[in-house]
Amino acid sequence: MAIDVTKRGGSFLIAETDPNSVFTPEDFTEEQKMFAKTAEDFLHNEVLANLAKTEAQEAGVMVGILKKAGELGLLMIDVPEKYGGLELDKATSMLVSEIVSKGGAFASTFGAHTGIGTLPIVFFGTDEQKQKYLPKLATGEIVGCYALTEAGSGSDALAAKARADLSKDGKHYVLNGEKTFITNGGFADLFIVFAKINGEEFSCFIVEKDFEGVSAGAEEKKMGIKGSSTVQLILDNVKVPVENLLGEKGKGHRIAFNILNVGRFKLGVGCIGGAKLAFDDAVKYANERHQFGVPISSFGMMKNKIANMASGIYVVESMSYRTAGLLDEILSPIDKNAPDASKQTMKGIEEYVTECSIMKVKGSEMLDYVVDEVVQMYGGYGYIAEYPAERHYRDSRIARIYEGTNEINRMLIPGMLIRKAMKGDLPLLEAAKKLQGELLEMPTLDESEPEGLLVEENKLILNVKKIALLTTGVAVQKYMTKLEEQQGVLGDIADIIMEAYGMESARLRTLKLAAAKGEEEAKTAVDMTRLYIYDTVGKVDLWAREVLAACAEGDELRTMLVALRRLTRYTPIDTLHMRLDVADYFIAKEKYEV
Ligand SMILES: Cc1cc2nc3c(=O)[nH]c(=O)nc-3n(C[C@H](O)[C@H](O)[C@H](O)COP(=O)(O)OP(=O)(O)OC[C@H]3O[C@@H](n4cnc5c(N)ncnc54)[C@H](O)[C@@H]3O)c2cc1C
């Protein structure tokens, strides 16, 4: 049976997408907007209002804010109704994550509780475990966290040394070991802990704070997100009832990695919130701050930064909510009362693991770019703690490190797609082979002038997709099963794939926006899309050259480079003046609003 590729994760590389089928931030319903309003009010009244206290780690303040979020229903969005939750769609869940992430340290606290601290039970718990813990996690009566990392095992999480041994009477597992960098660990009531049964079978356990032998180390002194709790968790002969084994014995890796997948899409969207707040602060500051007798926002170089930051946010926002829509599309037909509903949900999310990793990497790198430019726009004041730019800069840096470092995610992006292709779930390699044949033929000259909105840009996007296929295909042919060892090649391919998704997501959203509002109204969105695409094609060309040169030589390489040149050729547009227009739009608004 032929595969409907449009319903598969990663299909954006080989299928064309109808703009009307894509979910965009302009599609939020009244109900979703109401939730956003609750989150926005909560952010201002609780999180930002208490920032000085949380940054100083005043005892009880952060946990109090988390519990307040529980009272408002913000912790129960992803919890099934059957267990006291709201079980809302992923778009709402992401929207709330985006908004509360403007709180920096609170974003980590919130994510550790609602995501990695709660979802393992949602997806892998038995009915008894769900009944016992989920209603309390959903309301914030108890706080959750996730303990995977150890001093000797971070990225290589399966090398954990913590162990679990079954007691003689078979009633308990006795846990011993130390976990490092545990978010919420200082005040959590429930720990999702990974340990190896008999030192061999990597498994997952639900551990309560009050179990004898559980203790937390001192708070780490961190670069940023200072208001969040990050501690060591010490397990000293902790007797964990056998019924608290989560999922199957020896299958802890399924929980660890699947939960991180979910965490990644939320982290990506959270980065948008952080970037918007920093952007808004910077644009307001640039209008207020005068040098040489004029606001610094009137200088071309400042405008350049404003336009680039806004385009970056726009692209990540477009790809994130497109992914939210894809997830909702695959998850909404699942019967929530079916006995295997959690399993099906997990499988649905797994379909889009590549997109989730893309969001994590693109979101965190866009955020770091934005906060760095924001510090620059504040000048010396950007370096002074009294001004917000300094905190934005410090708080953002962690996003590239946790939930799988960006290096690990860069390897996963092509790796997961290639695995899918090898399994026959996505006809990527066939498409790559066909493309190689096409590229070797003499091109037919197309002299026609393209007409229509973003038509020329679409050609570039289609070419970037072809480049992604070409480089992936060539790399697989050259290195076969040893491709994993070629991290430079994988990193470049990951970047090309990510940009294909980003450029296309922005274009689809902009077309939809222009169709709804008219081209004139959508002008800034059109400009940002064009800016991003023209800025990125040059980078794609460089990455592709590197990959091809690492995979081929002599005549073969020369032939491929000729083909690549055809794919990356374009007539430049006046991006410099376009940036000024984009910047003027946001300078007038003093905030990121498309
Ligand atoms: C503030 C904070 C909060 C955290 N919260 C939690 C939490 O709640 N729960 C939890 O379990 N953990 C948590 N962590 C841990 C976090 O997930 C790890 O720090 C992260 O996974 C990286 O592991 P590591 O620090 O051991 O770095 P390492 O794994 O030692 O990595 C060091 C560098 O080597 C690179 N590297 C590693 N392996 C490879 C490879 N195969 N190929 C290429 N490059 C590689 C990495 O990308 C990185 O740049 C937190 C960390 C911090 C700082």
Residues 87-111 have a mean pLDDT of 94
Residue of minimum CA distance from atom 40 in ligand 1: 408
> Which residues lie closer than 8 Å to 193 by C-beta, 6 or more apart?
147, 162, 175, 179, 204, 205, 206, 207, 233, 235
153 CA from centroid of ligand 1 (Å): 8
The model's pLDDT over 243-276, given as tens digits with 9 standing for 90+, comes to 999 999 999 999 999 999 889 989 999 999 999 9
* Inter-residue contact 256 to 157 (CB < 8 Å): yes
Say if residue 5 is exposed, middle or buried (CB neighbours under 10 Å; 0-12, 13-18, 19+).
Answer: middle
> In this structure, which amino acid lies at residue 410?
R
Helix (H) or strand (E) holding 252: helix 252-288
Mean per-residue pLDDT of the chain = 95
Please state the domain extents for the chain: 25-143, 146-250, 253-407, 413-442+454-573
Q: Determine phi and psi for 172, rounding to 5 degrees.
A: -135, 155
> Which residues lie closer than 8 Å to 501 by C-beta, 6 or more apart?
12, 319, 355, 358
pLDDT of 227? 97
CA distance 491 to 473: 15
pLDDT of 32? 93
pLDDT of 233? 98
Residues 123-135 have a mean pLDDT of 97
Residue of minimum CA distance from atom 51 in ligand 1: 181
Q: Provide the CATH topology of domain 25-143.
A: Butyryl-Coa Dehydrogenase, subunit A; domain 1 (1.10.540)
Same fold? 146-250, 413-442+454-573: no
Q: What atom in ligand 1 is closest to the CA of residue 184? A: 8
Choose among 109, 106, 114, 126: nearest CA to 45.
106
Kindly list the distances between the CA atom of residue 374 and the CA atoms of 380, 539, 554, in Å, as whole numbers in the listed order.
11, 23, 46
What CATH number matches the domain at 413-442+454-573, 2.30.110.10, 3.20.20.80, 2.60.120.590, 1.20.140.10? 1.20.140.10
406 CA from centroid of ligand 1 (Å): 10
Q: What is the share, in percent, of the chain residues with pLDDT greater than 90?
A: 92
The confidence band for 166, taking pLDDT boundaries of 50, 70 and 90, is very high
CA distance 517 to 506: 16
44 CA from centroid of ligand 1 (Å): 31
Q: Provide the CATH topology of domain 146-250.
A: Butyryl-CoA Dehydrogenase, subunit A; domain 2 (2.40.110)
Residues 121-129 have a mean pLDDT of 96
Residue of minimum CA distance from atom 35 in ligand 1: 407
Does the structure show a pLDDT above 90 at 445?
Answer: no
The model's pLDDT over 1-17, given as tens digits with 9 standing for 90+, comes to 445 666 789 999 999 99
CA distance 507 to 505: 5
Domain 253-407 CATH superfamily: Butyryl-CoA Dehydrogenase, subunit A, domain 3 (1.20.140.10)
pLDDT of 342? 86
CA dihedral 360, 365, 371, 372 (to 10 degrees): 160
> In this structure, which amino acid lies at residue 82?
K
DSSP three-state, residue 526: helix
CA distance 214 to 202: 20
Residue of minimum CA distance from atom 38 in ligand 1: 155
The model's pLDDT over 277-305, given as tens digits with 9 standing for 90+, comes to 999 999 999 999 999 999 999 999 999 99
In this structure, of 166-175, 226-235, 340-349, 353-362, the range with the lowest mean pLDDT score is 340-349
- Ligand 1 binding pocket, CB closer than 6 Å: 112, 145-149, 154-155, 181-183, 222, 230, 398, 401-402, 405, 407-408, 487
Residue of minimum CA distance from atom 25 in ligand 1: 154
Give 219's DSSP letter. Answer: P
Ligand 1 pocket test target in 146, 155, 410, 487 with most atoms within 8 Å of CB: 155
6 CA from centroid of ligand 1 (Å): 34
Helix, strand, coil shares of the chain, percent, nearest 5, are 65, 10, 25
The model's pLDDT over 455-508, given as tens digits with 9 standing for 90+, comes to 999 999 999 999 999 999 999 999 999 999 999 999 999 999 999 999 999 999
* Catalytically annotated residues: 403
Does the structure show a pLDDT above 70 at 183?
Answer: yes
Looking up tokens 């006995």 gives 339
* Inter-residue contact 548 to 268 (CB < 8 Å): no
Q: What atom in ligand 1 is closest to the CA of residue 151? A: 26
Q: What atom in ligand 1 is closest to the CA of residue 116? A: 8
CA distance 384 to 391: 9
pLDDT of 4? 61
* Inter-residue contact 97 to 78 (CB < 8 Å): no
Looking up tokens 């946010």 gives 313
Residue of minimum CA distance from atom 17 in ligand 1: 402
403 CA from centroid of ligand 1 (Å): 8
> In this structure, which amino acid lies at residue 417?
L
* Inter-residue contact 178 to 233 (CB < 8 Å): yes
Does the structure show a pLDDT above 80 at 446?
Answer: no
The confidence band for 209, taking pLDDT boundaries of 50, 70 and 90, is very high
CA distance 315 to 529: 7
Distance of CA 314 to the CA centre of its chain: 15
Ligand 1 pocket test target in 161, 405, 410 with most atoms within 8 Å of CB: 405
163 CA from centroid of ligand 1 (Å): 20
pLDDT of 438? 84
412 CA from centroid of ligand 1 (Å): 15
Q: What atom in ligand 1 is closest to the CA of residue 179? A: 11
Looking up tokens 């889009």 gives 352
Give 206's DSSP letter. Answer: E
DSSP three-state, residue 576: helix
Ligand 1 pocket test target in 190, 231, 266, 401 with most atoms within 8 Å of CB: 401
Structure tokens, 509: 């959203």
401 CA from centroid of ligand 1 (Å): 6
DSSP three-state, residue 460: helix
Residue of minimum CA distance from atom 24 in ligand 1: 154
DSSP three-state, residue 520: coil
The model's pLDDT over 532-591, given as tens digits with 9 standing for 90+, comes to 999 999 999 999 999 999 999 999 999 999 999 999 999 999 999 999 999 999 999 999
DSSP three-state, residue 175: strand
Does the structure show a pLDDT above 80 at 202?
Answer: yes
Q: What atom in ligand 1 is closest to the CA of residue 228? A: 1
Does the structure show a pLDDT above 70 at 447?
Answer: no
pLDDT of 1? 41
Alpha-carbon dihedral sign for residues 80, 81, 86, 87: positive
pLDDT of 443? 65
Choose among 407, 39, 94: nearest CA to 262.
94
Q: What atom in ligand 1 is closest to the CA of residue 145? A: 8
Residue of minimum CA distance from atom 30 in ligand 1: 154
Choose among 132, 127, 100: nearest CA to 115.
100
Does the structure show a pLDDT above 70 at 216?
Answer: yes
